[in-house]
């Protein structure tokens, strides 16, 4: 009887998930045309006067080579005040160049460039810095590493490629510091060169991270930068000989390392009899947490959320929990209570509420391949990228689940993935998701709904809101018939209570601001 009442209450709450008014405002820029077809927002900063400073990267297509950045200043109505184009040009001795990220310090903006210098046979990292009032870029070298020391990435072919090859760029929560990591070549020892800079481009840490284990036995998970910009936290998944002998659970251990000016300290923790295929580090306030999905069977079939809390200085483990998905979540997903696990979950982002609760988001993502025959007897493989259900869970300060919800969605594409998937944000204690759909919202069994396929020809923008108690509603906020361009919903950029999207149809573009 108790289970029946629980299911009845949950089912009644689901029936409230219909279109409702969600307070918001819409602002659009004028439709404009760029010389280059492909463009995406890489930085949005409030200008202090209700306007916004936007940096967009661009790249040429098949018939128009070139790459660079548009720097644009808009007022509160998204009317363009000032613009500047910076085209990336390399010298004859510079190869395999890449902008790792963009960082701002007041009215100074810096492009962090990483390039291979063929003359010096070294990888050189530089900052290209300019005032946003008068665009004149100056170059400052941040560091360089001899080519022979760097584990080559896919730039140089697959023969030297491993899972954590290449370079990573990470910015802290307040955008006051950034880290760069480079995988260093060493077959017998996992080695990364780690740098930490503040947003004034002062180097605060240069450190060689080493783990006495073969490179392929160490899986680099992620790195996070503390809010004060003084500590780095590097998380790795390590396959040791000792863990190889385990009878249950994953045959590996997680190792979290704090890197500071004093050196490094490491905490080792195991996921016991459970499988935790991947964990993500989150550092905020005075807490250091690692969160991920776990399974009792295989790494790719998930049953709940694992939570570890550590002291940010000593790395002592304060709490560890394994939270099974809630009954509410199972009904969202399957329509009734099923003892069934979830697979193909891909981490999409972590948000922090005003009460320092964690909202953990993921999406069912997978790729299928299809062989297409041609009339001449040949053929080719076509790859389809699937972005299905959204999984969202809010974690309390003690690591327990406050709510977990599944938003049913079926979307796939063989082309541009920017128009599907979603962007998520928080205002107050409400969680919001922005998604496109080209079809009417589909009703499923057990009072559930499903968001369907979208395309550049038919793309309606919706917002979904999950309240602090886990109830949610949705609203269509833009109909594609009222838009000249479809908006790239997966590439939203956040600033204060607004989310910015860029729309594109050919070379025709438009900016959209949704304020909650």
Contacts of 1 (CB under 8 A, 6+ apart): none
CA distance 145 to 158: 21
Q: Which two tokens stand for residue 27?
A: 């602002």
Could you read off the pLDDT of 463-508 as tens digits, one per residue? 999 999 998 889 999 988 888 899 999 999 998 889 999 999 877 8
155-161-163-167 Cα dihedral, nearest 10 degrees: -40
Could you read off the pLDDT of 65-104 as tens digits, one per residue? 678 999 999 999 999 999 999 998 888 898 888 899 999 9
Largest CA distance in the chain: 77
Look at residue 63 in the predicted model and tell me its pLDDT.
Answer: 59
Neighbouring-strand partners of residue 308: 290, 320
CA distance 32 to 508: 6
CA distance 146 to 91: 19
CA distance 55 to 42: 6
Could you read off the pLDDT of 237-247 as tens digits, one per residue? 999 888 888 87
Contacts of 236 (CB under 8 A, 6+ apart): 190, 211, 218, 219, 220, 221, 254, 255, 256, 257
Phi then psi for residue 366, to 5 deg, are: -160, 165
CA distance 487 to 420: 10
Q: Tally the C-alpha atoms within 13 A of residue 242's C-alpha that lie toward its C-beta.
A: 4
CA distance 77 to 27: 6
Element (H, E) at 11: helix 2-14
Phi then psi for residue 288, to 5 deg, are: -125, 120
Residue 367: pLDDT over 90: yes
- At residue 249, the 3 state secondary structure works out as coil
Length of the chain: 516
Compute the average pLDDT of residues 295-308.
Answer: 85
């Amino acid at each position: 009887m108790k289970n029946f009442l629980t299911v009845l209450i949950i089912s009644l709450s689901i029936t409230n998930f219909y279109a409702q008014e969600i307070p918001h405002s819409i602002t659009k820029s004028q439709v404009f045309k760029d010389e280059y077809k492909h463009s995406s927002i890489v930085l949005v900063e409030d200008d202090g006067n209700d306007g916004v400073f936007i940096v967009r990267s661009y790249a040429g297509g098949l018939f128009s080579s070139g790459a660079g950045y548009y720097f644009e200043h808009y007022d509160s109505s998204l009317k363009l005040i000032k613009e500047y184009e910076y085209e990336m040009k390399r010298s004859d001795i510079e190869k395999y160049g890449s902008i790792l990220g963009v960082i701002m310090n007041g009215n100074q903006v810096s492009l962090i460039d990483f390039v291979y210098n063929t003359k010096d046979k070294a990888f050189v990292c530089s900052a290209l810095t300019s005032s946003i009032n008068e665009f004149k870029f100056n170059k400052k070298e941040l560091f360089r590493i001899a080519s022979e020391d760097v584990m080559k990435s896919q730039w140089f072919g697959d023969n030297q490629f491993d899972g954590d090859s290449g370079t990573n760029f990470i910015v802290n929560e307040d955008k006051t510091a950034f880290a760069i990591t480079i995988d260093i070549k060493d077959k017998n020892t996992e080695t990364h060169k780690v740098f930490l800079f503040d947003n004034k481009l002062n180097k605060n840490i240069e450190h060689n991270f080493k783990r006495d284990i073969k490179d392929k036995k160490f899986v680099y998970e992620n790195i996070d930068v503390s809010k004060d910009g003084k500590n780095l936290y590097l998380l790795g998944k390590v396959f040791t000989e000792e863990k190889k002998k385990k009878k249950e659970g994953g045959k590996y251990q997680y190792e979290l390392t704090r890197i500071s000016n004093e050196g490094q300290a490491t905490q080792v923790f195991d996921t016991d009899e459970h499988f935790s295929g991947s964990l993500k580090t989150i550092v905020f306030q005075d807490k250091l947490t690692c969160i991920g999905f776990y399974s009792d069977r295989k790494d790719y079939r998930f049953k709940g959320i694992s939570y570890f809390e550590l002291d940010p200085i000593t790395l002592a483990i304060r709490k560890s929990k394994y939270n099974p998905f809630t009954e509410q979540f199972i009904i969202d997903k399957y329509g009734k209570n099923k003892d069934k696990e979830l697979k193909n979950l891909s981490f999409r982002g972590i948000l922090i509420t005003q009460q320092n609760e964690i909202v953990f988001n993921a999406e069912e993502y997978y790729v299928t391949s299809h062989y297409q025959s041609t009339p001449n007897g040949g053929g080719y493989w076509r790859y389809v990228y699937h972005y299905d259900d959204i999984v969202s869970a809010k974690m309390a300060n003690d690591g327990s689940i406050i709510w977990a919800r599944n938003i049913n969605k079926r979307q796939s594409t063989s082309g541009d993935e920017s128009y599907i998937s979603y962007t998520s944000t928080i205002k107050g204690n409400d969680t919001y998701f922005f998604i496109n759909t080209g079809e009417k919202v589909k009703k499923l069994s057990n009072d559930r709904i499903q968001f369907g396929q979208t395309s550049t020809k038919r793309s309606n923008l919706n917002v979904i809101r999950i309240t602090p108690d886990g109830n949610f509603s949705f609203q269509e906020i833009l109909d594609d018939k009222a838009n000249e361009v479809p908006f790239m919903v997966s590439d939203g950029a956040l600033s204060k209570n607004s989310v910015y999207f860029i729309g594109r149809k050919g070379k025709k573009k438009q900016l959209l601001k949704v304020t909650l």
